[in-house]
Structure 1
Amino acid sequence: MASSDVRHQNGGVRPASPPPAHGVSDAVDAKHEKTECSQEPLPETPQTDRDSGSASSADTVEEFKEGGYGWVVVLCVFLINAHTWGLNSSYAVFLAYYLNSGAFPDADPITIAFVGGLSFSIALLVAPLVTTSVRLTSTRKALGFGVVTQTVALVAASFSTRMWHLLLSQGIAFGLGMGFNFNATVGIVPQWFHRRRSFASSLSTAGSGFGGLVYSLASNAMIDSVGLAWAFRILAILSFVVNGICCLLMRDRNKAVGSVLAAFRLDLFRRKEYLLFLSWGFFTLIGYVIVLFSLSDYAQSVGFSASQGSIIAAVLNLSQGIGRPLIGLASDRWGRINVCGIGTLLAALSTLFLWTFAGKHYPGTIVYALFGAFVGCIWPTVAPVGAEVVGLQMLPSALSIFWTILVLPTTFAQPIALAIKTPGPDGYRRVQLLAGFMYIGAFISIWLLRVWKLRELEKADLTAQERRAAEEDDDVVARATSRRSTKTSRPRMILRGFLSLSHV
């Protein structure tokens, strides 16, 4: 399907991928042997290649071990997430400040809400552009562009005096820089791991939680002590230094795993499992953006102070920082789609019950914020679940489309929330219900995806080893399905998919 693309994009014949952990089926081994026999000798390449700025792909394959330098990559992605999405999480503090201080008297609340939504949506919208940039240049160059752009955006925001200045700087420009930083690195960590893939991915995404914790408290303190302008400048300096160092240390394995770095693979839309994957992300991000950006303002609307509001936002981010690695560990132990579905359901129930009924009391809101790991469960699970749906090679293209589609919910979720908000202590009731029901829709989508996965595994009649291999590469299921059949009826398989306790 993509062999010609891989030859063209990687500048040569793709080397064989390293054997998956836990053992693989005879069919998989046979495929690898056939591929190795049919390959022509790899041409000599310079010590530094274009795609990763590291050792040649042949050396990378030979030296690859579970983790290894991957742990350095995990640390770099962790810090990048802390200084991109973590900074963006602190917009809840900025939003509350803009709404209650009158710093921009020419702006209405919905316009102010668009600033945070724009930064979020632009970061996702540029995913195809980043994927193309990585293919044409390198991961490091795309990341470097993002580091510089984000720094310039924060400095420009410090000079904003009108609302349109803020829309261009903190909204569009910051989102562009954050998008290059995020999309250039989001698929790298899974390339370095097999058995601990979910844990490593979730550990790297925990950076946004800890970054949000630090910057939610720090931004509020800086605005109070040195003013809005210098708060932006300090954030610009910090993010430039940290992200710049991470850019120099980053290494990918795009050539080694044969990543298909195509911006769009429209044939994915013909796969119902991928549409369910998109639906889960669409509904989840509506709820997530509303919760992330609303909690600080909600706290003040029910009578809490600005300081208490920033603490609530910090607790939400702390929960994500601690909870995401735990979600990753649970995913590797009990199944990635299983844990993703249960986490999404817990997000729905906590939003509909804890936030709605206990949120008026400060301890109740704090308890709800502690469920932040489930509210943001999309971040530690999206890459591992995506790999199970489309396979590791197609993951960059699948995520490129995924983030592009999710521009709509991230752009309009918070403006819609402020539009349906009403005055008074119960003003957020409709907002809370909207967020909760969006998580319910996300849960239905991911559980239907689980039904599909279990049906595919049952139809393929995989052995235990092949099932473990299928968690690393969805193509294992397709190959096994082509040579096996099952007589189980379709309704029975659907019912077993809903109720089965299988590891998936």
Structure 2
Amino acid sequence: MDTEKQCCDLERKADEPVATNAQRAATGCANFGEEPSLAPGFPSYTRYAVVASCFIIQGLSCGLVHAWGVQQEYLATNVYAGQPAKIKTLGYIGTLMYFGLYFWGMLAGWLAEVWSYRKLCFVGVAVMALGQLLASFCKEPWQLCLSEGLVFGLGVGLVFSPTSAAPARWFTKRRGLATGIAVAGVGVGGLVIAPLTEAIVRRAGVEWSLRISAMYILVLGAIACCFVRVPFQDRERTLRNFNWQAFGDRRFAIHVCMMLFVTAAYITPYAYLPQFWVAKGISAQTASVLIAVANVASSVGRVATGFAADYIGVLNSLVLCTGIAATSCFVVWPFATSVGAGTAMSLAYGFAAGGNWSLAPLAAGKLFGMDKLASNTGIFYTASAVGAWVGSPVAGAILAGPGHSTNYIQMSIYVGALWLAALTMALANRALYSQTLFSKV
């Protein structure tokens, strides 16, 4: 039998573990040990459907995390006005969702590889919809913490890691661009869902906004899940085969630390720059526009840095992005007191900070191989949960310190220091991989 046909037969089903490594080697597959540019046995459009479906799922999940602020503001102003304890509890919900997005990464990546990318995404979408539906019947903030914060956060965490990793499994020459487009769904989802949520809230209330979101999550998410797949899954891997040896690799530990610092730094400017601009005399409406500019720049940055990674190397691109983000916090933020300077800050920070989320999974594939990309990326995201939990609260504590309520210099230095630490880690792994200065790595 022709060996190429055997390879195609072994790899025909995308999300079922149909072949072992030994079988693949025995058939003489030309690309054994590597991910092919296009997996044999699949239609040519399959890889593009994977990118589009991951884009949609990331937009639905992270877009709703971003949109929670609209619902929180309405509840604090109209439902729990004059009840500071309940308003304070509302403030924990966004943190819980953001924490869950990363915390469940290791479990999600592991399950995707030993079970099925597609089936895991179906479960995650169902859990997200359930969280929104349960939240629509909640009457107290602590109940919203359980439904929105924990249940919905779990669903987001289950889909985020596999949809970040799946596109890279289908491409070689355009791997960075494919990943960048998929994770750009985060920014686009926020831009679309936040104003949509605000319109529904003003007309129908928070309860119906949550029920409607549960409906479109379930419908659009289920359709997208049908196309999430990878070209090959190794059925020799089981739940007992977790890659504990990875923790003994110093490059792995460095990448984990880098992701922790990136996550701790990433969200703080988005949370506090509007307050900074208002304190400097810029109107609240203009400040919201500047944050929207940062979100647009973030989406563009995710695609552009992925595209750049295909030409100058993913590790080189990661160093550039972390360096630009650190520079924007140290050099631009303290002086971004006008609309023009604020726009420059939004563009620079949004572009560079967003680009890191395209490059992080690509760097994991570059450093540790593509066959365990989902589980490795999941480990990095779980470590990032620590950064998500402490980053903004520490920044808030700095701002609340004596004499700091209108002086954001200390906060900008804190965030810049986090990015500088991430830059140091990125440089270290770049040097460990290759000490040739101008090589494409």
TM over 0.5: yes
Identity of aligned residues (%): 25
Out of 232, 238, 245, the residue aligned to residue 254 of structure 1 is: 232
Write the letter of the residue equivalent to 2:58: N
Out of 313, 316, 326, the residue aligned to residue 291 of structure 2 is: 313
2:178 and 2:239 mapped to 1: Cα distance?
Answer: 22
Q: Corresponding residue for 2:438?
A: 501
Out of 230, 240, 243, the residue aligned to residue 265 of structure 1 is: 243
Q: Corresponding residue for 1:36?
A: 26
Out of 11, 14, 34, the residue aligned to residue 21 of structure 2 is: 14
Post-superposition Cα deviations, 1:405-446, rounded to whole Å, max 9, x if no partner, equal 121111222222223223886254433222121111111110
Q: Corresponding residue for 1:433?
A: 413
Q: Corresponding residue for 1:449?
A: 429
Out of 215, 222, 227, the residue aligned to residue 205 of structure 2 is: 227
Aligned residue runs from structure 1 range 45-124, under 5 A: 61-63=39-41, 68-94=45-71, 103=80, 105-107=83-85, 111-124=89-102
1:108 and 1:432 mapped to 2: Cα distance?
Answer: 30
2:341 and 2:46 mapped to 1: Cα distance?
Answer: 43
Out of 152, 155, 163, the residue aligned to residue 177 of structure 1 is: 155
Cα shift at 1:108: 7.1
Instruction: Note if contact 1:90-1:215 (Cα within 8 Å) is conserved in structure 2.
Output: yes
Q: Corresponding residue for 2:344?
A: 367
Instruction: Note if contact 2:166-2:228 (Cα within 8 Å) is conserved in structure 1.
Output: no
1:213 and 1:282 mapped to 2: Cα distance?
Answer: 26
1:430 and 1:109 mapped to 2: Cα distance?
Answer: 27
1:405 counterpart = 2:383: yes
Instruction: Note if contact 1:95-1:293 (Cα within 8 Å) is conserved in structure 2.
Output: no
Pair 1:160–1:315, CA change in 2 (3 A): farther
Cα shift at 1:172: 1.0
1:187 and 1:376 mapped to 2: Cα distance?
Answer: 16
Q: CA RMSD in A?
A: 3.2
Post-superposition Cα deviations, 1:318-362, rounded to whole Å, max 9, x if no partner, equal 11222211111111011111111101111111122322221x334
Q: Corresponding residue for 1:344?
A: 322
Q: Corresponding residue for 1:206?
A: 184
1:259 and 1:197 mapped to 2: Cα distance?
Answer: 25
Pair 1:99–1:283, CA change in 2 (3 A): farther
- What TM-score do the two structures reach when normalised by structure 1? 0.74
Instruction: Note if contact 1:131-1:262 (Cα within 8 Å) is conserved in structure 2.
Output: no
Post-superposition Cα deviations, 1:296-334, rounded to whole Å, max 9, x if no partner, equal 455555555554444333222211222211111111011
1:150 counterpart = 2:128: yes
1:258 and 1:344 mapped to 2: Cα distance?
Answer: 38
Moved over 6 A (4+): 98-102, 256-263
1:38 and 1:70 mapped to 2: Cα distance?
Answer: 24
Post-superposition Cα deviations, 1:217-238, rounded to whole Å, max 9, x if no partner, equal 3334444444333333333333
In structure 2, the gaps of 5 or more residues are 1-15, 30-37
Deviating more after overlay: 259-268 vs 158-167: 259-268
Instruction: Note if contact 2:86-2:141 (Cα within 8 Å) is conserved in structure 1.
Output: no
SS of residue matched to 1:254: coil
How many residue pairs end up in the alignment? 416
Write the letter of the residue equivalent to 1:72: A
Write the letter of the residue equivalent to 2:228: M
Pair 1:213–1:367, CA change in 2 (3 A): farther
Q: Corresponding residue for 1:24?
A: none
Q: Corresponding residue for 1:56?
A: none
Cα shift at 1:11: 6.2
SS of residue matched to 1:116: helix
In structure 1, the gaps of 5 or more residues are 1-8, 18-34, 40-59, 456-496
1:305 and 1:75 mapped to 2: Cα distance?
Answer: 37
